Amino acid sequence: MTQQQQQEQLEAKAYFSRHLLEWYHGQKRDLPWRRHRNPYYIWISEIMLQQTRVDTVIPYFNRFIERFPTVESLADAPEEDVLKCWEGLGYYSRARNLQHAARQVKEQYGGQVPNDREAVFSLKGVGPYTAGAILSIAFNRPEPAVDGNVMRVLSRYFLLEDDIAKGPTRVKMERLAAELIPEGEASHFNQALMELGALVCTPKSPRCLPCPVMEHCSARLAGRETSLPVKTKAKPPRPEERLAALVEGRGAHAGRVLIRQRPASGLLARMWELPHWPAPPADDGAGSGGPLPADAALDRLRRSLRTAGISARPEAHYMAAEHTFSHIVWTLQVYRCREEDALPRVAEGRAVYGAGAAASATHAGGPQVELFADGSGSREDSGVVRWITREDMANYAFPNVFLKLLNAYFDEQDARGRASE
């Protein structure tokens, strides 16, 4: 690089930082976590904003800090309460890691979020971006906070063709971002960079005309603004069809639905759901797979219920639903099932996960809790079960797909009740 090129690059960097800050001070959104410099609140917001839109996060953030206003209150809360407050936000490992880290802060730092790079990095669930965001936004430390928005902006402005899905590119971007931070302006600058990527320099249709740094944007000048950044496509999530049982109670359980708790570790750990199992692909004789025919699905579900120790009879298909994870997509075929021989009624209250080898577990302060029999050795057939009404749903944390299914079912029952009056 010639001396003139070096000088031009320095000028481009200075222009970028100056004009971006000016734009941010005049255009920044009024977001609840920007109304203070509380490191705990900023930390909460950054965890919630991972892979989640700002508009979605705002009501969750407000409810969360109202329920858990301090590090200590989060650290001391039952996990079930934390998951319930997170319900519907998805990526539930974020909530578990957040609570684990809150306990670290309480025990190791007296409940105060540390203003130290190594200490922040040591917190569970805190990676380079989140650590940089906490340190820069809350403490105004000149640490880069590089996420997808930031890498997109920098790729376009400096015409960088490195694949942003690769680790070395992130390291390169972090060095560049650190060079751009004006002295004493780390908090505002990093937020401005994120804001530009979120509102103006968007992935598919960048709004170049109102961009405060348009004049020196190398990608725009080269006509490359829509082709950058370079990013290799992630492997698409694999599809998996599952059979779900919406078991309607009768007798003492009339008006209730059976739910179960997932295992204590793994996917959606300790959350509540309708019982469900993988559906084997149909075999058409040529070895190709596909959805099970209706009769075969009912037979498979009947056997799965029996293996799990649930005395219920599948009656008819109710609805289909979908739940997408980063690595898998569940297509749930939900069947209405009728309780046959009455299962023991269980206590309403906080659940305790028990291993499948046990026939039952005693809830502290309450009667016995019926567990699934793990006849097949499947983790999915082990877990606490409950008979619940709609009102009871407030006591349990459900993945969003089951929350919607249960609400749809109870809405239908309420409508039928009104119609019969």
Please give the positions annotated as active site: 46
Q: Classify residue 173 by burial, with Cβ atoms within 10 Å: 0-12, 13-18, 19+.
A: buried
| Sequence-separated (6 or more) residues with CB below 8 Å from residue 287 | none
Name the residue with tokens 């309420």.
414
CA neighbours closer than 13 Å in the CB half-sphere of residue 31? 21
Angle at 189 between CA 53 and CA 39, to 5 degrees: 65
Alpha-carbon distances, residue 339 vs 272, 348, 387, 398 (angstroms):
19, 19, 11, 22
Closest CA to 182 of 6, 20, 28: 20
Phi-psi region of 91 (alpha: psi -120 to 50; beta: other; left: phi over 0): left
Residue reference for tokens 């376009």: 156
Structure tokens at 188: 């505002």
